[in-house]
Amino acid sequence: MTAAVLSGMRPTGRLHLGNYFGALKNWVALQEKYTCHYFVADFHALTTAYESPGDVKSNVEEMVLDFLAAGIDPARTTLFVQSLVPTHAEAHLLFSMITPIPWLERTPSYKEMIENLADRDLRTYGFLGYPVLQCVDIMLYHPKYVPVGVDQVAHIEFCRELVRRFNHLYDVDLPQPEPLLTETPKVPGLDGRKMSKSYGNAIELFAPKEEARKRFMSIKTDSTPVAEPKTPETCNVFALLSLFCDDAERKDWDRRYRAGGLSYAESKKALVEKYEAAIGPLRAKRDELAKDRAGIWKILREGSDRALDISSKHLKEIRKAIGLTY
Protein backbone atom coordinates (compact mmCIF):
# COMPACT_ATOMS: atom_id res chain seq x y z
CA MET A 1 0.00 0.00 0.00
CA THR A 2 1.26 3.50 -0.85
CA ALA A 3 1.96 6.06 1.86
CA ALA A 4 -0.94 8.19 3.07
CA VAL A 5 -1.54 11.91 2.65
CA LEU A 6 -4.11 13.95 4.57
CA SER A 7 -5.26 17.55 4.51
CA GLY A 8 -8.35 19.66 5.12
CA MET A 9 -9.74 23.15 4.71
CA ARG A 10 -12.30 25.13 6.66
CA PRO A 11 -15.55 25.84 4.78
CA THR A 12 -15.56 29.59 5.28
CA GLY A 13 -16.37 30.77 1.73
CA ARG A 14 -15.28 30.20 -1.84
CA LEU A 15 -11.66 29.16 -2.45
CA HIS A 16 -9.21 31.67 -3.89
CA LEU A 17 -6.07 31.39 -6.01
CA GLY A 18 -3.91 31.22 -2.87
CA ASN A 19 -5.77 28.15 -1.66
CA TYR A 20 -5.44 26.59 -5.11
CA PHE A 21 -1.76 27.24 -5.81
CA GLY A 22 -0.73 26.89 -2.16
CA ALA A 23 -2.53 23.61 -1.50
CA LEU A 24 -5.41 22.29 -3.62
CA LYS A 25 -3.48 21.89 -6.88
CA ASN A 26 -0.94 19.83 -4.96
CA TRP A 27 -3.73 17.75 -3.40
CA VAL A 28 -4.88 16.85 -6.91
CA ALA A 29 -1.37 15.90 -8.09
CA LEU A 30 -0.67 13.81 -4.97
CA GLN A 31 -3.55 11.49 -5.85
CA GLU A 32 -1.28 9.95 -8.51
CA LYS A 33 1.26 8.69 -5.96
CA TYR A 34 -0.36 8.42 -2.55
CA THR A 35 -3.45 7.19 -0.76
CA CYS A 36 -5.11 10.52 -0.14
CA HIS A 37 -7.61 11.71 2.46
CA TYR A 38 -9.07 15.19 2.10
CA PHE A 39 -11.78 16.69 4.22
CA VAL A 40 -13.95 19.67 4.96
CA ALA A 41 -13.08 20.93 8.44
CA ASP A 42 -16.57 22.07 9.50
CA PHE A 43 -15.81 21.77 13.24
CA HIS A 44 -12.87 24.10 12.68
CA ALA A 45 -15.15 26.58 10.91
CA LEU A 46 -17.38 26.56 14.00
CA THR A 47 -14.49 27.61 16.23
CA THR A 48 -14.76 31.10 14.68
CA ALA A 49 -18.30 31.09 13.22
CA TYR A 50 -20.17 29.61 16.19
CA GLU A 51 -22.39 32.70 16.52
CA SER A 52 -23.63 32.49 12.93
CA PRO A 53 -23.24 28.92 11.66
CA GLY A 54 -26.31 29.44 9.41
CA ASP A 55 -24.57 28.94 6.09
CA VAL A 56 -22.25 26.12 7.14
CA LYS A 57 -24.10 23.54 5.03
CA SER A 58 -23.99 25.56 1.83
CA ASN A 59 -20.35 26.48 2.53
CA VAL A 60 -19.53 22.76 2.74
CA GLU A 61 -21.25 22.15 -0.61
CA GLU A 62 -19.50 25.07 -2.32
CA MET A 63 -16.11 23.99 -1.06
CA VAL A 64 -16.60 20.40 -2.18
CA LEU A 65 -17.68 21.64 -5.61
CA ASP A 66 -14.42 23.59 -5.79
CA PHE A 67 -12.48 20.44 -4.79
CA LEU A 68 -14.21 18.23 -7.37
CA ALA A 69 -13.92 20.79 -10.17
CA ALA A 70 -10.20 21.16 -9.43
CA GLY A 71 -9.75 17.41 -9.90
CA ILE A 72 -10.18 15.67 -6.56
CA ASP A 73 -11.39 12.21 -7.54
CA PRO A 74 -13.67 10.61 -4.93
CA ALA A 75 -13.20 7.19 -6.52
CA ARG A 76 -9.50 7.21 -5.60
CA THR A 77 -9.47 9.57 -2.65
CA THR A 78 -11.34 9.50 0.63
CA LEU A 79 -13.25 12.79 0.60
CA PHE A 80 -15.15 13.44 3.81
CA VAL A 81 -16.72 15.89 6.25
CA GLN A 82 -15.06 16.12 9.66
CA SER A 83 -18.30 16.21 11.69
CA LEU A 84 -19.66 13.13 9.91
CA VAL A 85 -16.74 11.09 11.29
CA PRO A 86 -17.25 10.93 15.06
CA THR A 87 -13.79 9.50 15.80
CA HIS A 88 -12.42 13.05 15.41
CA ALA A 89 -14.45 14.31 18.35
CA GLU A 90 -13.44 11.40 20.59
CA ALA A 91 -9.74 11.62 19.69
CA HIS A 92 -9.88 15.38 20.30
CA LEU A 93 -11.15 14.74 23.82
CA LEU A 94 -8.41 12.20 24.54
CA PHE A 95 -5.61 14.42 23.18
CA SER A 96 -6.98 17.42 25.06
CA MET A 97 -6.12 15.59 28.31
CA ILE A 98 -2.40 15.82 27.58
CA THR A 99 -2.25 19.27 25.95
CA PRO A 100 -0.59 21.95 28.11
CA ILE A 101 -2.58 25.20 27.93
CA PRO A 102 0.57 27.36 27.51
CA TRP A 103 1.38 25.47 24.29
CA LEU A 104 -2.00 26.53 22.91
CA GLU A 105 -1.70 30.12 24.09
CA ARG A 106 1.61 30.56 22.33
CA THR A 107 0.48 29.18 18.94
CA PRO A 108 1.07 32.11 16.54
CA SER A 109 -2.36 31.81 14.86
CA TYR A 110 -4.10 32.07 18.25
CA LYS A 111 -3.15 35.63 19.07
CA GLU A 112 -3.19 36.67 15.42
CA MET A 113 -6.75 35.55 14.81
CA ILE A 114 -8.04 37.04 18.04
CA GLU A 115 -6.60 40.36 16.86
CA ASN A 116 -7.70 40.01 13.22
CA LEU A 117 -11.24 38.94 14.03
CA ALA A 118 -11.81 41.59 16.67
CA ASP A 119 -15.58 41.65 15.98
CA ARG A 120 -15.93 38.09 17.36
CA ASP A 121 -15.34 36.79 20.85
CA LEU A 122 -12.78 34.06 20.30
CA ARG A 123 -11.91 33.52 23.95
CA THR A 124 -13.60 30.14 23.87
CA TYR A 125 -12.48 26.69 24.90
CA GLY A 126 -13.12 25.41 21.36
CA PHE A 127 -11.02 28.05 19.64
CA LEU A 128 -8.14 27.61 22.08
CA GLY A 129 -8.18 23.89 21.25
CA TYR A 130 -8.09 24.44 17.45
CA PRO A 131 -4.57 22.94 17.04
CA VAL A 132 -5.47 19.88 19.16
CA LEU A 133 -8.37 19.12 16.84
CA GLN A 134 -6.13 19.66 13.81
CA CYS A 135 -3.59 17.29 15.33
CA VAL A 136 -6.07 14.46 15.80
CA ASP A 137 -7.47 15.06 12.29
CA ILE A 138 -3.99 14.13 11.17
CA MET A 139 -3.17 11.36 13.66
CA LEU A 140 -6.30 9.36 12.86
CA TYR A 141 -4.92 8.62 9.37
CA HIS A 142 -1.15 8.22 9.96
CA PRO A 143 -0.21 10.30 6.91
CA LYS A 144 3.37 10.69 5.82
CA TYR A 145 2.61 14.14 4.43
CA VAL A 146 0.19 16.98 5.14
CA PRO A 147 0.03 19.27 2.07
CA VAL A 148 -0.72 22.85 3.17
CA GLY A 149 0.33 26.46 2.60
CA VAL A 150 3.08 28.01 4.68
CA ASP A 151 0.72 29.56 7.24
CA GLN A 152 -0.26 26.07 8.44
CA VAL A 153 3.27 24.88 9.16
CA ALA A 154 3.15 26.06 12.79
CA HIS A 155 0.07 23.87 13.33
CA ILE A 156 1.87 20.82 11.94
CA GLU A 157 4.86 21.59 14.20
CA PHE A 158 2.46 21.81 17.13
CA CYS A 159 1.10 18.41 16.16
CA ARG A 160 4.56 16.86 16.02
CA GLU A 161 5.27 18.19 19.49
CA LEU A 162 1.99 16.89 20.88
CA VAL A 163 2.58 13.46 19.32
CA ARG A 164 6.03 13.32 20.92
CA ARG A 165 4.42 14.08 24.26
CA PHE A 166 1.83 11.34 23.70
CA ASN A 167 4.54 8.85 22.74
CA HIS A 168 6.58 9.78 25.81
CA LEU A 169 3.67 9.54 28.24
CA TYR A 170 2.33 6.22 26.97
CA ASP A 171 5.51 4.62 25.67
CA VAL A 172 4.28 4.17 22.10
CA ASP A 173 5.60 5.29 18.74
CA LEU A 174 2.90 7.16 16.81
CA PRO A 175 4.35 8.63 13.59
CA GLN A 176 5.02 12.38 13.33
CA PRO A 177 3.54 13.98 10.20
CA GLU A 178 5.49 16.25 7.88
CA PRO A 179 4.14 19.35 6.14
CA LEU A 180 4.39 19.37 2.36
CA LEU A 181 4.64 22.78 0.67
CA THR A 182 4.28 23.72 -3.00
CA GLU A 183 6.66 25.94 -4.96
CA THR A 184 4.26 28.78 -4.17
CA PRO A 185 3.48 28.34 -0.46
CA LYS A 186 2.58 32.03 -0.06
CA VAL A 187 0.66 33.42 -3.02
CA PRO A 188 0.38 37.23 -2.92
CA GLY A 189 -2.98 38.97 -3.12
CA LEU A 190 -3.90 42.03 -5.17
CA ASP A 191 -2.16 44.34 -2.70
CA GLY A 192 1.03 42.26 -2.38
CA ARG A 193 0.24 40.88 1.10
CA LYS A 194 -0.51 37.15 1.43
CA MET A 195 -3.72 36.40 -0.46
CA SER A 196 -6.38 35.76 2.16
CA LYS A 197 -10.15 35.91 2.51
CA SER A 198 -9.75 38.08 5.56
CA TYR A 199 -7.65 40.73 3.77
CA GLY A 200 -10.13 41.39 0.94
CA ASN A 201 -7.25 40.98 -1.52
CA ALA A 202 -8.21 37.61 -2.97
CA ILE A 203 -9.30 36.44 -6.40
CA GLU A 204 -11.79 33.62 -6.26
CA LEU A 205 -10.57 30.47 -7.96
CA PHE A 206 -13.81 30.19 -9.92
CA ALA A 207 -14.76 33.84 -10.16
CA PRO A 208 -16.90 34.69 -13.20
CA LYS A 209 -14.62 35.67 -16.07
CA GLU A 210 -15.57 39.35 -16.10
CA GLU A 211 -15.20 39.73 -12.33
CA ALA A 212 -11.75 38.11 -12.42
CA ARG A 213 -10.74 40.45 -15.27
CA LYS A 214 -11.72 43.53 -13.24
CA ARG A 215 -9.87 42.26 -10.18
CA PHE A 216 -6.69 41.51 -12.13
CA MET A 217 -6.78 44.87 -13.91
CA SER A 218 -7.02 46.59 -10.48
CA ILE A 219 -3.66 45.22 -9.24
CA LYS A 220 -1.51 48.07 -7.98
CA THR A 221 1.74 48.59 -9.93
CA ASP A 222 4.52 51.16 -9.65
CA SER A 223 4.83 54.16 -11.96
CA THR A 224 7.83 53.03 -14.05
CA PRO A 225 7.25 54.43 -17.59
CA VAL A 226 6.49 51.88 -20.32
CA ALA A 227 9.86 52.28 -22.04
CA GLU A 228 11.88 51.69 -18.84
CA PRO A 229 13.09 48.24 -17.63
CA LYS A 230 10.94 46.77 -14.83
CA THR A 231 11.70 44.49 -11.91
CA PRO A 232 9.76 41.21 -12.00
CA GLU A 233 10.70 40.26 -8.41
CA THR A 234 8.73 43.14 -6.96
CA CYS A 235 5.81 43.06 -9.40
CA ASN A 236 2.61 41.49 -8.22
CA VAL A 237 1.29 41.01 -11.75
CA PHE A 238 4.42 38.99 -12.55
CA ALA A 239 4.01 36.88 -9.39
CA LEU A 240 0.43 35.98 -10.31
CA LEU A 241 1.19 35.52 -14.01
CA SER A 242 4.00 33.10 -13.08
CA LEU A 243 1.46 30.82 -11.41
CA PHE A 244 -0.01 30.06 -14.80
CA CYS A 245 3.27 29.79 -16.75
CA ASP A 246 5.69 26.95 -17.34
CA ASP A 247 9.42 27.61 -16.85
CA ALA A 248 10.06 28.72 -20.43
CA GLU A 249 7.14 31.17 -20.41
CA ARG A 250 8.17 32.55 -17.03
CA LYS A 251 11.71 33.15 -18.31
CA ASP A 252 10.34 34.91 -21.35
CA TRP A 253 8.19 37.26 -19.25
CA ASP A 254 11.18 37.87 -16.98
CA ARG A 255 13.24 38.88 -20.00
CA ARG A 256 10.51 41.18 -21.32
CA TYR A 257 10.15 42.92 -17.94
CA ARG A 258 13.87 43.61 -17.75
CA ALA A 259 14.16 44.73 -21.38
CA GLY A 260 11.74 47.68 -21.03
CA GLY A 261 9.01 48.54 -23.51
CA LEU A 262 6.43 46.39 -21.72
CA SER A 263 3.39 48.06 -20.19
CA TYR A 264 1.77 46.72 -17.03
CA ALA A 265 -1.53 46.81 -18.93
CA GLU A 266 -0.08 44.26 -21.31
CA SER A 267 1.11 41.87 -18.61
CA LYS A 268 -2.25 42.21 -16.84
CA LYS A 269 -4.06 41.31 -20.04
CA ALA A 270 -1.83 38.26 -20.45
CA LEU A 271 -2.62 37.30 -16.86
CA VAL A 272 -6.38 37.49 -17.53
CA GLU A 273 -6.01 35.29 -20.60
CA LYS A 274 -3.78 32.72 -18.88
CA TYR A 275 -6.19 32.55 -15.94
CA GLU A 276 -9.16 32.00 -18.22
CA ALA A 277 -7.40 29.33 -20.30
CA ALA A 278 -6.50 27.37 -17.16
CA ILE A 279 -9.62 27.94 -15.06
CA GLY A 280 -12.37 28.29 -17.70
CA PRO A 281 -12.71 24.52 -18.36
CA LEU A 282 -12.70 23.74 -14.62
CA ARG A 283 -15.35 26.41 -14.01
CA ALA A 284 -17.56 24.81 -16.67
CA LYS A 285 -17.13 21.42 -14.97
CA ARG A 286 -18.06 23.03 -11.66
CA ASP A 287 -21.25 24.49 -13.13
CA GLU A 288 -22.26 20.98 -14.24
CA LEU A 289 -21.47 19.40 -10.88
CA ALA A 290 -23.39 22.14 -9.06
CA LYS A 291 -26.67 20.94 -10.60
CA ASP A 292 -26.62 17.77 -8.47
CA ARG A 293 -26.49 18.70 -4.78
CA ALA A 294 -27.76 15.25 -3.71
CA GLY A 295 -24.85 13.71 -5.64
CA ILE A 296 -22.41 15.75 -3.58
CA TRP A 297 -23.84 14.48 -0.32
CA LYS A 298 -23.76 10.90 -1.61
CA ILE A 299 -20.03 11.31 -2.29
CA LEU A 300 -19.47 12.87 1.13
CA ARG A 301 -21.44 10.22 3.01
CA GLU A 302 -19.61 7.39 1.29
CA GLY A 303 -16.27 9.09 1.87
CA SER A 304 -17.12 9.75 5.51
CA ASP A 305 -18.05 6.07 6.04
CA ARG A 306 -14.67 5.09 4.61
CA ALA A 307 -12.91 7.65 6.80
CA LEU A 308 -14.71 6.22 9.85
CA ASP A 309 -13.38 2.74 9.05
CA ILE A 310 -9.79 3.95 8.70
CA SER A 311 -9.82 6.30 11.68
CA SER A 312 -11.52 3.78 14.00
CA LYS A 313 -8.50 1.50 13.70
CA HIS A 314 -6.13 4.28 14.72
CA LEU A 315 -8.43 5.53 17.47
CA LYS A 316 -8.36 2.01 18.94
CA GLU A 317 -4.56 2.21 19.11
CA ILE A 318 -4.81 5.56 20.89
CA ARG A 319 -7.30 4.16 23.43
CA LYS A 320 -5.13 1.10 23.92
CA ALA A 321 -1.99 3.21 24.51
CA ILE A 322 -3.81 5.10 27.26
CA GLY A 323 -5.18 1.88 28.78
CA LEU A 324 -8.82 2.22 27.76
CA THR A 325 -8.94 -1.37 26.62
CA TYR A 326 -12.33 -2.43 27.95
- Rounded to whole angstroms, how far apart are CA atoms 76 and 298? 15
Report the half-sphere exposure of 9 (CA within 13 A, side-chain side).
Answer: 27
Residue 8: contacted member of ligand ADP, ligand TRP, none (CB under 5 to 8 Å, by partner type): ligand TRP
- For residues 313 and 87, give the distance between their C-alpha atoms in angstroms, rounded to a whole number: 10
Based on CB atoms, which residue is closest to ligand ADP, 196 or 263?
Answer: 196
- Selection from ligand TRP, ligand ADP, none that 196 binds (CB < 5 to 8 A by kind) is ligand ADP
**Which pairing describes strands 145-147 and 178-180: parallel, antiparallel, or unpaired?**
parallel
Measured from the CB of residue 70, what is the shortest distance to ligand ADP in angstroms? 12
Regarding 149 and contact with ligand ADP (CB under 6 A), the answer is: yes
Task: In whole angstroms, give the CA distance from residue 149 to residue 174.
Answer: 24
> Residue 44 or 286: which CB sits closer to ligand TRP?
44
> Which residues here bind ligand TRP, judged by CB under 6 A?
6-10, 41, 44, 134, 137-138, 146, 148, 152, 155
Determine the length of the chain: 326
Q: Is 196 in the site for ligand ADP (CB under 6 A)?
A: yes
Sign of the C-alpha dihedral computed for residues 267, 259, 253 and 197 taken in this order: negative
Question: Residue 273 half-sphere exposure, CB side, CA atoms within 13 Å?
Answer: 6
Only one of the segments 59-67, 195-203, 255-263, 313-321 lies at the binding site for ligand ADP (rule: CB under 6 A); that segment is: 195-203
- Kindly identify the residues of this chain, within the stretch 160-189, that bind ligand ADP according to CB under 6 A: 185-187
- Closest contact distance (angstroms) between CB of 10 and ligand TRP is 5
Tell which one of 19, 99, 201, 236 touches ligand ADP (CB under 6 A): 19
Residue 151 binds to ligand ADP (criterion: CB under 6 A): yes
From the list ligand TRP, ligand ADP, none, partner contacted by residue 194 (C-beta under 5 to 8 A by kind): ligand ADP
In Å, what is the CA distance from 237 to each residue of 112, 187, 198? 28, 12, 21
Confirm if 272 and 208 have CB atoms less than 8 A apart: no
Helices 56-70 and 42-49: angle between axes, nearest 10 degrees: 140
Segment lying near ligand ADP (by CB under 6 A), choices 48-56, 134-142, 191-199, 277-285: 191-199
Binding site residues, ligand ADP, CB under 6 A: 9-10, 18-19, 22-23, 148-149, 151-152, 185-187, 194-198
